[in-house]
Chain A
Amino acid sequence: MIYKHVLRTFAKKKLTLFLLGIVIMLSSFVYVALHMGAATIEKATEAYFDDYNQEDFVFEMSPYITPKEHQLDLEHCVIQAPTMPALYQQDKACYYELIDQRITALKTLEAITLEARFFKDITSVQNDHTHRFRLMQETVAINRSYYTQGQKPAYENEIAILENYANHNDIKIGDTLVIRGEDYEVTGFLLLPDYTLPVFDHVFAYGTESQTLMMVHPDFFDALSEAPNYHLGGIFLDEPFGVSEFYERHDTENYGIQHMMLTENNIRSGAIYTEIQASYASGLFISIIIAFIGIVIVGLMMKKTLEQSQRPFGILKALGMEKKELMWPYLTLILGFSFLALWLGYMIGFLFAPILRDVYLAFYLLPKTDVEFSFLALLIGVFAPFLVLFVMGFFITNRLLNQDALHMMHPPITKMAKVHQSRLRRLINKLGFNTRYQTIFMLRHKLKVLIYAVGVFFAFFLSFLALGMLDVFEATVTDYYDSVHYTHIGYYPEEAQPGDKVIEINALIYESPAMLIGLSENQTMHPLFDKDGRDLTPRLNEGLVISQSFALLNDLALNDRIEIYLGAQKETYTVVGVANIYPGDHVFTDRAMLAKTFFNDADYYNTIYADYPLDETQFQSVFSVDTLLNQIDDLNEVTMQVFYVIVLSGLFIGLIIVYLLSVLIVEDHYVHIALFKMLGYDDQAIHTILLGGYRKLNIVLFILCIPFTLWVFVLFRNFFAMMFGFIFVMSLNPLHLFGIALLYVIIFMVASRHAKKKVTDVALSVALKVYQN
């Protein structure tokens, strides 16, 4: 019988319950989708890294041969060449013997094992476009290759490539690629644990449309005239140690080390770790916000519905029915409904997780596995919010039903706090009639107004947050490349070329790997301005100009002194400017000063910034900014698929909240509306007096939410700076703000109209009877 009563009460609130169900479902969905997408990647990745022995750290090696190495008494040769590439061209055996010598020496320093990863970068025209190939040789112990399909090249004319590259270019196993006029058969698709992102020269160039890692037969590798590059992948055999510890303990000058980098800090091999952590964190953060709002709204609706049943419950209690007999039907139905919604969210999240996984796999080079059941996702996504709903439901029903039967049958008139503060009173009395009573109604329904304000504020926040994500890539990476004047970057020119002469070199700066860029004082291609628009180029010869991201990441400010390691050489500089640029951990200084200090040659440069297409044959490698931007656009497009889900979920939840709360306030004023009508107020006047205050409150909340959201954006920016080393610039677009405002005005109007219709539909005499009863 009680069940029937509760069901009928719920049936009258079909739309409200449906919308609440969506909010509850979305809270579970967002968490489960993000968690399971990331968990699937994490599980497969960990197994893959273990099986194929991913490096724990890497020694990036200097191209220069140290003075001590020149004095080494090697078995097969006498080292005379100044650089490793030169040595390779002179004597390959000697080149490899020196590297072996370096490995042996380094292994004596710490409990580590090392293996060299040799590679050669070449360009090749494929389908009328220049593609970049990093040719590699198999390793034996560390960073072993994993073939997802096919097998490793067994002959000189065989190659294995990345599956992503093959998919982008419609290449199948058995197809042939023409490289430098020769045919090479694709025998397999491979993955390498030290390349979870195919980062070659530029951190943002990891798209696989026009570049691939390429495993080749040793004969093919050796047959290419270019000298190989290499780095040393390492595994800790005992306790891991940090980079600075290593530098403190050893004089790296003797071993040709340019810098050491732990895998977790290495974008090439370790970005996936922070990506997964960020995914877990953002999934949890967003779903906590949604769940919090959902739970507040569910609690509110539960309380409201129960209050409406207070009189019949009072009668039933008076007839001798026990509290639990009245409470459990309510709890069972509301919790059953909530559990269904949470479960539905879990299931949809489970179905969506593979899409998220595929977004990761669109740019990360990792094995693909099926999404599996996750008890943790079930626990946090379904059971935890269910438990909160249960406790809250129990508390609300218990509190209400604890009253005695008489009290429930005849609830006392709400007591109001006295407004004796004469100053406030006088102030209110000075207001016009409408504003006066809007203020009075708001002040005397403090709790309801507070709940409404919190709900609407979060709804606005969720919408702002969601839309703030939309322009992340434009505001960070794209804007940066739009701001520079060069269109092409050429690395290691064969001979002098027109354009700005630049040094770009990886260094260890303030214990963080960063790109040290030397710009000439008369350079024109790379504007460097601080946030106040001051040109920083003239100050380069006084010290370092750091990027916003680097400053935030390392908590650095003007005039701080920071150390730069380039190989074993250490120099200390003063920060003389913070450039208003976001992507990358870029640090700038004067090229001549840098060249003189680290290369003993004031004229040294290794890079050309040009505003015209560079001849690729004249450089070791050439980057086109357009290609880079296209690649970022593609990446943006893939990532936005996930963002759109979060954005739409956030926006949708926000709209539902505003709708539900608007209906709730109108329903709360149901009898007031009837009474005002009886007195002779028309709809417009009633609307103004009762809802006008909420309308004004909405405007205030909307305005207040803007700085709050911007503050949260700063927190996010710092968080991402810490996690990824570059900054996500989330921003509020005025057009978006206008759109949201318009949307919410419409929702508020629709909701209040819908709720008011109930009053209009009921005869006034009946409404007043309700009031009297």
Chain B
Amino acid sequence: MIKFEQVSKIYQTGNIKTKALDHVDVEISAGDFVVILGPSGSGKSTMLNLMGGLDLPTEGNVTVDAMPISTFDEKKLVQFRRKHIGFVFQEYNLLPTLTSYENIDMAYHLSDDPLDIDTALKQVGLTKHKDKYPYELSGGEQQRVSIARALVKQPKVLFCDEPTGSLDEDIAKQILKVLQNLNQTMKTTIIVITHNTAIAQIADRVIHLNSGKIVKDIRVKTKVDSMEISFSP
């Protein structure tokens, strides 16, 4: 499904070069729930950006669903994101001037085979709040809108960048539950990046990153329901 071959990413600011990813090789199968773990600056977000076609590698090849996206120009990347990818961010990235329904509608319009908006809202348990603006919703509710916006396109892969980073434990678990349900019911490949090791318990596979390199890659044998995990060590 997703394949990294010797992928490196170097950011340059003035004369300073920062190696965010260093010759990474990894392959992720369709339908997997993958958690990428690592401390701040380990290269998690860079990896997600490259997988999702938000950025291009400095070296190496990135293939998603047999598409060599690392060779794509901006126009092709846009089409790729439009058809195959959904994103969920830590800070929700909702348009503050649009209601929940309208935020989801922005993504609905892009898909050739979208999920019904009301169904998407039902999936994330927000049917009652569809006419509310982001500022009228709690952090967890906003994140649910963000997930609904991503899933309405029925993406092949859903990338989540610290989706629970701004939420308290109870709300965070509910969000993870939503993601788990999506993975199970809709067979959507979900890739979550986080520094919260507790979240690893709900994944099929956990990839540990540090200093731009994969330091550990574990397939989880016994998955735990998100409501049963504990964020406390």
Contact = CB atoms under 8 A, between A and B. Distances in A.
A310 to B, nearest CB: 16
A512 to B, nearest CB: 60
B31 to A, nearest CB: 22
Which of B79, B81, B149, B153 has most A Cβ within 10 Å?
A: B81
A65 to B, nearest CB: 87
B93 A772 contact: yes
A765 B49 contact: yes
B96 to A, nearest CB: 5
Contacts of A760: 74
Contact of B79 (A415, A440, A680): A680
Contacts of B78: 677, 680-682
Given A413-B134, A440-B102, A682-B75, A771 B83 contact: no
A156 to B, nearest CB: 90
B82 A764 contact: no
B97 A445 contact: yes
Nearest to A425: B131
Contact of B55 (A444, A679, A682, A764): A764
B107 interface: yes
Given A680-B78, A680-B83, A416 B106 contact: no
Contact of A768 (B46, B75, B89, B98): B89
Contacts of B80: 680
- Range of interface residues on chain A? 20 to 34
Nearest to B108: A433
Interface in A371-424: 412-416
B118 interface: no
Contacts of A413: 96, 134-135
B95 interface: yes
Nearest to B107: A679
Nearest to A412: B135
Interface in A430-451: 433, 437, 440-441, 444-445
B87 interface: yes
A188 B186 CA distance: 104
A416 B102 CA distance: 14
Interface string A605-633: 00000000000000000000000000000
Most chain A CB atoms below 10 A, which of B82, B96, B102: B96
Given A444-B97, A765-B55, A768-B54, A681 B133 contact: no
A481 interface: no
A178 B117 CA distance: 98
Contacts of B107: 679-680
Contacts of A763: 54-55
B204 interface: no
Interface string B86-108: 01011101011110001000110
Contacts of A414: 96-97, 135
A678 interface: yes
A675 interface: yes
B62 interface: no
A681 B110 contact: yes
A676 interface: yes
B200 interface: no
Interface in A743-773: 760, 763-765, 768, 771-772
A323 interface: no
Contacts of A672: 95
B93 A768 contact: yes
B23 interface: no
B1 to A, nearest CB: 19
B54 A678 contact: yes
Contacts of B96: 413-414, 416
A41 B74 CA distance: 64
B213 to A, nearest CB: 20
Nearest to B166: A772
B158 to A, nearest CB: 13
B73 to A, nearest CB: 12
A413 B87 CA distance: 21
Contacts of B87: 678-679
Given A678-B93, A679-B107, A765-B54, A440 B98 contact: yes
Given A444-B97, A772-B89, A772-B91, A679 B54 contact: no
22 contacts: A413-B134, A415-B133, A415-B135, A416-B96, A437-B102, A440-B97, A440-B98, A444-B98, A445-B97, A677-B78, A678-B87, A679-B81, A679-B82, A680-B110, A681-B78, A682-B78, A682-B82, A764-B49, A765-B45, A765-B49, A768-B89, A772-B89
Q: Which 9 A-B pairs have the closest CB atoms?
A: A680-B82, A680-B81, A444-B97, A772-B91, A765-B49, A413-B135, A765-B55, A682-B78, A764-B54
Given A677-B81, A772-B93, 17 more contacts: A413-B96, A413-B135, A414-B135, A416-B97, A416-B135, A441-B97, A445-B97, A675-B95, A677-B78, A678-B81, A680-B78, A680-B107, A680-B110, A760-B74, A765-B54, A771-B91, A772-B91
Interface of A: 412-416, 433, 437, 440-441, 444-445, 672, 675-682, 760, 763-765, 768, 771-772
